Amino acid sequence: MPELPEVESIRRDLVAAVTGRSIARATVRNTGNSGRVIRRHQDRSGFEAPLAGRTILEVQRRGKFLIHVLDEKLALVVHLGMSGQLLLGMPADPYANHTHVEFDFEDGDQLRYVDPRTFGQLFVVERSEAGEIAELDRLGMDPLVAPMPWREFSVALAGRKTKLKSLLMDQSFICGIGNIYSDEMLFAAGLRYDRVSESLSEPEARRLHEAIGTILRRAVDGRGTSMRDEQYRDLYGNRGAFQHHLLVYARQGEPCTVCGSQVSRVRWTNRSTHFCPQCQR
């Protein structure tokens, strides 16, 4: 389940691996649900044709979206959904199950998009004169690239009646945070998932502001979280390491590392939520 740290790790791999290279052709494979991952396009050719011959100028990230900036004012945007992977290899490599799209580079390598649950998506768009992508307009600030200043964050919290976990996962407020890291941030800040945003004191809001940055930086340093075999892999198929540093997520029933009481798990608004009932208020 790639969130910001996982997507950022893949972006850094991509910067080194594909910047400056030209795509000879993109191919949407004819296997089952492959059409679903390019659902923003009417048909396969609408996705494949504009990519042929394009050069990747740089690779950016906005929240959980990867943006391959191309020449001719185009961009290839990739969202990995829950189970999407971008893997670099050779055309002769055996295909993993659920390989939906492949990109052949003019000098030989191949980039493949694999996604068992097909919640991810890829699309090609035109960039504006300023280089903006209209489809990503709704995203809020990126907490790694352009973190919201403390004072602005505090004012934003005070003006909202949303519960904290919903707010952290609201991509139009802060983009890039999902279920795992929202639980970890709220634990680090000592705040319950269902606290109302506007009820936070200044010290509490400050703790949350710090926790967002701290958890994300540590997770990026750990190259993301790989919880299960079929989940997050980097560009070369390697697992992340941050799962060894999670303090509440998937640790229900284990002792809290701060107070020793049992970590709880509840199902809240259709998402599993992990917290320490003693430390988080």
Using CB under 7 A as the binding rule, whether residue 109 contacts DNA is answered as no
Among 54, 31, 52, 34, smallest CA distance to 44 is for 34
Amino acid at 36: R
Using CB under 7 A as the binding rule, whether residue 229 contacts DNA is answered as yes
Residues within window 157-196 making contact with DNA, judged by CB under 7 A = 159-163, 166, 169, 171, 178-180, 196
In degrees, rounded to 5, the angle at the alpha carbon of residue 170 between the alpha carbons of residues 213 and 136 is 95
Side-chain-facing half-sphere of 29: CA atoms under 13 Å: 17
Q: Whose Cβ is closer to DNA: residue 21's or residue 271's? A: 271
Stretch of 86-94, 99-107, 117-125, 256-264 lying at the interface with DNA (CB under 7 A): 117-125
Question: Whole-number minimum distance, CB 249 to DNA, in Å?
Answer: 7
Active site annotation includes 64: yes
What are the angstrom distances between the C-alpha of 130 and each of 71, 126, 212, 237? 14, 11, 29, 35
CA atoms of 59 and 68, how far apart (whole Å):
5
Q: Whose Cβ is closer to DNA: residue 22's or residue 264's? A: 264
- Angle between helices 202-221 and 4-18 in degrees, nearest 10: 40
Q: Whose Cβ is closer to DNA: residue 32's or residue 255's? A: 32
Side-chain-facing half-sphere of 176: CA atoms under 13 Å: 28
Stretch of 49-57, 126-134, 140-148, 153-161 lying at the interface with DNA (CB under 7 A): 153-161
Question: Whole-number minimum distance, CB 13 to DNA, in Å?
Answer: 20
Active site annotation includes 44: no
Active site annotation includes 40: no
Q: Whose Cβ is closer to DNA: residue 20's or residue 159's? A: 159
- The percent helix, strand, coil of the chain (3-state, each to 5) is 30, 25, 45
Contact 122, 76 (CB under 8 A): yes
> The tokens of 238 are what?
């390697």
Active site annotation includes 3: yes
Stretch of 22-30, 103-111, 122-130, 222-230 lying at the interface with DNA (CB under 7 A): 222-230
CA atoms of 185 and 161, how far apart (whole Å):
19
Contact 4, 63 (CB under 8 A): yes
Number of residues located near DNA, criterion CB under 7 A: 38
Q: Whose Cβ is closer to DNA: residue 105's or residue 123's? A: 123
Residue 141: strand, helix, or coil? strand
**Binding pattern to DNA, positions 4-43, x when CB under 7 A?**
----------------------------xx--x-------
Using CB under 7 A as the binding rule, whether residue 97 contacts DNA is answered as yes
| CA 224 to centroid of chain Cα atoms | 10
Q: Whose Cβ is closer to DNA: residue 273's or residue 280's? A: 273
Question: Whole-number minimum distance, CB 2 to DNA, in Å?
Answer: 8
What are the residue numbers of the active site? 2-3, 64, 271
The site for DNA (CB under 7 A) is made up of 1, 3, 32-33, 36, 63-64, 79, 81-83, 97-98, 116-119, 138, 159-163, 166, 169, 171, 178-180, 196, 228-230, 267, 269-272
